Amino acid sequence: LADDWRPERVAIFGMGQVGTMLGLRARSRGFARQIVVADPDPGALARSRAAGLVPDHILDPGSDGCDADVIVLAVPVPRILELIGRLGPHLTGDQLLIDTGSAKTVVVEAMRAIPQEVHAVGGHPMAGTEIPGATGAKAELLEGAPFALTPVRDDPAAMARARTLVEALGCRPVIVGAEEHDRIVARTSHLPHVAAYALTRVAAAAGDADAVANLSGTGLRGATRLASSDPSMVAAFLSANRTEVRTALADLRDALDAVEAALLDGPVALAATLAAAAGASSETSRPS
C-alpha cells in the first residue's frame, strides 16, 4: 500500500515556526503537488509568506472538512486536540493525519477516537529555533533531524505513510511509543525550557539591571536561550505533559542536590561528579 501512495495535496494547519518549516521543506524537496495552509491569524500567514512559504491555496481555518491527502496539525497541543475533534469525524481512509506537538500521549488518545479507517500518527520534529513564529523558521535545521512518530493503533499503512512523509522532508523517522516519548522529551526538551526560565529569573534578581548585564557573558545567553520561546506555546506543552514534567523536575532537584553535596566534599570530588555528568552527555549526544 505505502509504495503506491502518491500524495497530491498537503494541508498544514498552523503557520507558526514548525508549520512554516515543514511547508518550506515539502516545497523545496518536491513532496506533493500542492501545499495548502490554514491559520486564523492573518499576521501568521503574512510572516510565513515573508519566510518564503507561498501556499497554493489558503483554507478556511474554521471549516469542518479537509480533502488533502496529508493533513499536518502544526499548532499548540490544545489546538491540536480541538482540530482532531473537529476534522476527525469527516476524514476518510485515503488521508494521513499527523501532528507536530511535543506532548504525544494526549494527542494519540484523541486520535484513537476518530474513525478507524483514517490513517493517523502522532509526530514530533526535533528541530527549531527559540525565535517565536515563522520569523524563526530555519527549514535547513530539519535536514537529518529526528522526527518522532508515535503509533495510534495497529495500522502499518499509517506508519508507512508517515515514514514516507518524514523521509521526503529529509528528516530521520524515530518510531517510539507515546508514553516513552513523553517521558524522554520531558527531560531532553521540556525540563531545559523550565530551567532556562528559572535561570533567567535568578540572574535578573542578582543585582541591579546594569550590574547584571555587565557581568553576563556568552555562557548565560546560551543557557537561557530557550526562555525566548513563545511563553504560551511552552506553557501549552508543559501543561499537556504535566505529570512527566513534574517527575523530571524532581530528577533535576536530585541532580542539583548531588552537585551541591559534591561541592561540600571539595574540588576533587566535585570535578569527578561533573566529569561523570559530562561523560553521560557525550554518550547520549553521539551521532547515530
User: Which among 243, 196, 235, 244 is positioned nearest to 76, based on CA atoms?
Assistant: 235
Segment interacting with its own copies, rule: CB under 8 A, options 12-20, 24-32, 34-42, 195-203: 195-203
Least distance in angstroms from the C-beta of 26 to its own copies: 20
Q: Which three cell numbers stand for residue 36?
A: 495548502
Segment interacting with its own copies, rule: CB under 8 A, options 39-47, 60-68, 123-131, 157-165: 123-131
Least distance in angstroms from the C-beta of 44 to its own copies: 18
Contact between 268 and its own copies by CB under 8 A: the answer reads yes
Which 3 state secondary structure label does DSSP give 90? helix
The rounded distance, in Å, linking the Cα atoms of 128 and 143 is: 11
Contact between 249 and its own copies by CB under 8 A: the answer reads yes
The strands making up 96-99's β-sheet, listed across from edge to edge, are 57-58, 34-38, 9-13, 70-73, 96-99, 119-125, 146-151, 172-175
Contact between 174 and its own copies by CB under 8 A: the answer reads yes
The rounded distance, in Å, linking the Cα atoms of 245 and 183 is: 8
Contact between 181 and its own copies by CB under 8 A: the answer reads yes
Phi, psi of 70 (to 5 degrees): -125, 130
Which 3 state secondary structure label does DSSP give 281? helix
Contact between 261 and its own copies by CB under 8 A: the answer reads no
Q: Which residue is listed with cell 469527516?
A: 90
Binders of its own copies among 25-44, rule CB under 8 A?
Answer: none
Least distance in angstroms from the C-beta of 61 to its own copies: 21
Least distance in angstroms from the C-beta of 97 to its own copies: 22
Segment interacting with its own copies, rule: CB under 8 A, options 28-36, 106-114, 163-171, 273-281: 273-281
User: Which among 179, 172, 159 is positioned nearest to 119, based on CA atoms?
Assistant: 159
Contact between 135 and its own copies by CB under 8 A: the answer reads no
Contact between 145 and its own copies by CB under 8 A: the answer reads yes
Which 3 state secondary structure label does DSSP give 218? helix
In the chain the first and final C-alpha atoms are separated, in Å, by 29
Per DSSP bridges, beta strands 146-151 and 119-125 are: antiparallel
Least distance in angstroms from the C-beta of 83 to its own copies: 17
CB neighbours of residue 113 within 10 Å: 11
Binders of its own copies among 39-98, rule CB under 8 A?
Answer: 78
Segment interacting with its own copies, rule: CB under 8 A, options 24-32, 38-46, 91-99, 233-241: 233-241
The rounded distance, in Å, linking the Cα atoms of 16 and 137 is: 8
Contact between 101 and its own copies by CB under 8 A: the answer reads no
Contact between 17 and its own copies by CB under 8 A: the answer reads no
Least distance in angstroms from the C-beta of 136 to its own copies: 12
Segment interacting with its own copies, rule: CB under 8 A, options 34-42, 50-58, 61-69, 266-274: 266-274
Contact between 152 and its own copies by CB under 8 A: the answer reads no
User: Quick check: 61 and 13 in contact, CB under 8 A?
Assistant: yes
User: Quick check: 74 and 49 in contact, CB under 8 A?
Assistant: no
Binders of its own copies among 203-232, rule CB under 8 A?
Answer: 203-207, 209-228, 231-232
